[in-house]
């Protein structure tokens, strides 16, 4: 699933709703923001790593794909992912398996991937910044979220949701 919209339009809320309405709502919902990590760190966060895979890898660590097994992996700002990492992600999605960084054992997963972008991925594909095969793999279902300024009727609903969330977390 691919969700397109400006920053702050509620893409993660939509991804959470898709997860809740999906086949495995009791499974984990695991978000990761691709824009905040370098490709090397993103690869380790996605797939995990084995002890000794790099200098600071003092113990094995599962990645978010492994953590999201049986649920949903939400890739926010997927457009920020480098081409090399995109290729590895595509392979993992297609085969439903991957190896941790520095590992040899294949890890099988069953998860839904929901990706979000604040720019047109079609334009990124045309410019050579996004793999067309990954784009078409993610675009099985595409949702475009208009900015909140164009759907002001949603503001009271969102305000109530945030208020409920804050009140619930305060107890």
> Would you say residue 171 has pLDDT above 70?
no
d(CA 65, CA 44): 10
Q: What is the DSSP string of 130-165?
A: S-HHHHHHHTTSEEE---GGG-GGGHHHHHHHHHHH
- pLDDT class for 58, splitting at 50, 70, 90? confident
pLDDT digits (tens, 9 = 90+) for 104-153: 999 999 999 999 999 999 999 999 999 999 999 999 999 998 777 777 78
Contact 3, 119 (CB under 8 A): no
pLDDT digits (tens, 9 = 90+) for 88-104: 999 999 999 999 999 99
Burial 129-163 (b: 16+ CB within 10 A, else e): bbbeebbebbeeeeeebeeeeeeeeeeeeeeeeee
d(CA 44, CA 61): 9
In the chain, the percentage of residues whose pLDDT exceeds 90 is 71
- pLDDT class for 52, splitting at 50, 70, 90? confident
d(CA 9, CA 42): 24
What per-residue confidence (pLDDT) applies to 79? 97
Burial 91-126 (b: 16+ CB within 10 A, else e): ebbeeeebebbbbeeebebebbbbbbbbeebeebbe
How buried is 47 (Cβ within 10 angstroms: 0-12 exposed, 13-18 middle, 19+ buried)?
buried
């Amino acid at each position: 699933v691919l969700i397109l919209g400006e920053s702050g339009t509620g893409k993660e809320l939509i991804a959470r709703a898709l997860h809740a309405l999906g086949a495995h709502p009791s499974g984990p919902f695991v978000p990761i923001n691709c824009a905040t990590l370098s490709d090397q760190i993103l690869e380790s966060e996605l797939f995990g790593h084995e002890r000794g895979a790099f200098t600071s890898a003092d113990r094995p660590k599962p990645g978010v794909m492994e953590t999201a097994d049986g649920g949903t992996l939400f890739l926010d700002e997927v457009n920020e992912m480098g081409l090399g990492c995109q290729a590895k992600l595509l392979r993992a999605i297609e085969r439903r398996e991957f190896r941790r960084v520095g590992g040899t054992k294949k890890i099988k997963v069953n998860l839904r991937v929901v990706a979000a972008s604040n720019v047109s991925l079609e334009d990124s594909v045309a410019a050579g910044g996004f793999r067309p095969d990954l784009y078409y793999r993610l675009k099985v279902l595409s949702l475009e979220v208009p900015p909140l300024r164009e759907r002001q009727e949603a503001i009271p609903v969102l305000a109530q949701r945030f208020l409920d969330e804050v009140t619930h977390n305060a107890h």
